[in-house]
Structure 1
């Protein structure tokens, strides 16, 4: 465990980039070999749009990283946050509790709020307009949403009282988890069901991308599935019945053109 702590305490930016690129590449190859759906689309055009948003997400987080570093350092140095107030425990338990809490605030909560607050939904909507969900869809976030998510991540870090090594570990797991549960892969149904009791599996998350309510407003989790089950936002839909997208933006000119996607938050809502 100490080896993990030491590594993530000083993880180079190049390693974090390699994990991001490597994850997309691996899941891209797997979904090409074992696809859930055989999409009829211009794959590189679709990937190009999603990679553009991935790059803007990286840029936003890089530019604001100093805030996260300072907040994490302040919380840890001042013994502020849930982890600092808990009794001494084994480092493994400390890590699991920290990851669960960071996932609750930095993933589940912000996702729920984005669906419930109309102004924020305008930014998150870009993610839901994708009608061909694959691993490149994982970071299809408007730059404005990247800022919103950064704010919640920072809030999570200070409330949890997380040291920076735990933040880096959480962010790494979060990246891999979202690439995995967006990937266009077909796990055996029993395997997917088993995984969904612990983590957000591909079938579980893809219900969230079904084009109509109430499924769109369900399964908000990213790493752990416990929060959806605990707060009653967990739903099931057979994979064969899933239709990707959102019913307000089903035309290609609405969901498959970069210029329009960037403008969506500022357009009159349908």
Structure 2
């Protein structure tokens, strides 16, 4: 455990980039070999849109990283946050509790609030417009949403009182988990169900991308499925009934053109079954 702490305390940006690119490459290969759905789409054109939005997220997080680093340093220096107030415990337990709490506040809560707040939903909506969910869809976030998520992440670091190595470890796990849950891969049904009791499984998250309520407003989890089960937001839907997208933007010219996707948060809101 000490080796893990040491590594993530000084993890180079190049290593973080390699994990991002390596993960997408791995799941891209797997989903081409064992696809969940045989989707008729231009995979590289679709990936180009999602890669652009992924790149904007990387830039925003890189530019604002100093805020996160200062925040993590402040919490540990001033003994502020949940982890700082807990009694002494083994390092592995400390790490598990911290990552669980970061996942709750920085991911689950952020996701839930974006669905329940109209102003924030307008930015998160871009993620849901994707009608071909694959591993590149994981970081399909409008730049505005990337800022919103950064604010929640920072708030999570303050409330949890997590050191920076834990933040880097969590973000690494989060990237791989996101690529895994969005990947168009077919796992044995029993394995997927088993995984869903502990972590967010691919089929579990695909339900969240079904185009109408109540499924869109369910399965908010990022890494751990415990939060959806604990707060009553876990939902199941057979994979053969899932239709990707969001009912307000099902036209290809709206959900598959980068220029329009960037404009959606500033367009007139639409009334539909979903939001």
User: TM-score category by the smaller chain?
Assistant: over 0.9
* Residues 199-240 of structure 1 deviation map (CA, whole Å, 9 limit, x = unaligned): 000000000000000000000001000000000000000011
Tell me, in whole angstroms, the C-alpha distance in 2 between the residues paired with 1:103 and 1:167. Answer: 10
3-state SS, counterpart of residue 216 of structure 2: helix
State the shift of 1:87 in Å.
Answer: 0.3
Count of residue pairs brought into register by the alignment: 270
Tell me, in whole angstroms, the C-alpha distance in 2 between the residues paired with 1:182 and 1:44. Answer: 16
State the shift of 1:41 in Å.
Answer: 0.6
Aligned residue number for residue 246 of structure 1? 246
Aligned residue number for residue 32 of structure 1? 32
Tell me, in whole angstroms, the C-alpha distance in 2 between the residues paired with 1:106 and 1:176. Answer: 16
Structure 1 segments of 4 or more deviating over 4 A?
none
Aligned residue number for residue 222 of structure 1? 222
Aligned residue number for residue 120 of structure 1? 120
3-state SS, counterpart of residue 194 of structure 2: helix
State the shift of 1:107 in Å.
Answer: 0.5
TM-score, length of structure 2 as denominator length? 0.98
3-state SS, counterpart of residue 89 of structure 2: coil
3-state SS, counterpart of residue 221 of structure 2: coil
Aligned residue number for residue 211 of structure 1? 211
Aligned residue number for residue 100 of structure 2? 100
Name structure 1 gaps, 5 residues minimum.
Answer: none
Aligned residue number for residue 23 of structure 2? 23
State the shift of 1:5 in Å.
Answer: 0.3
Aligned residue number for residue 14 of structure 2? 14
Matches within 5 A, 1:49-68: 49-68=49-68
Tell me, in whole angstroms, the C-alpha distance in 2 between the residues paired with 1:93 and 1:68. Answer: 23
Tell me, in whole angstroms, the C-alpha distance in 2 between the residues paired with 1:121 and 1:159. Answer: 24
State the shift of 1:262 in Å.
Answer: 0.1
Aligned residue number for residue 200 of structure 1? 200
Matches within 5 A, 1:145-184: 145-184=145-184
Tell me, in whole angstroms, the C-alpha distance in 2 between the residues paired with 1:65 and 1:77. Answer: 18
Name structure 2 gaps, 5 residues minimum.
Answer: 271-275
Tell me, in whole angstroms, the C-alpha distance in 2 between the residues paired with 1:180 and 1:29. Answer: 12
State the shift of 1:38 in Å.
Answer: 0.7
Alpha-carbon RMSD: 0.3
Tell me, in whole angstroms, the C-alpha distance in 2 between the residues paired with 1:264 and 1:63. Answer: 24
State the shift of 1:125 in Å.
Answer: 0.2
State the shift of 1:105 in Å.
Answer: 0.6
3-state SS, counterpart of residue 215 of structure 1: coil
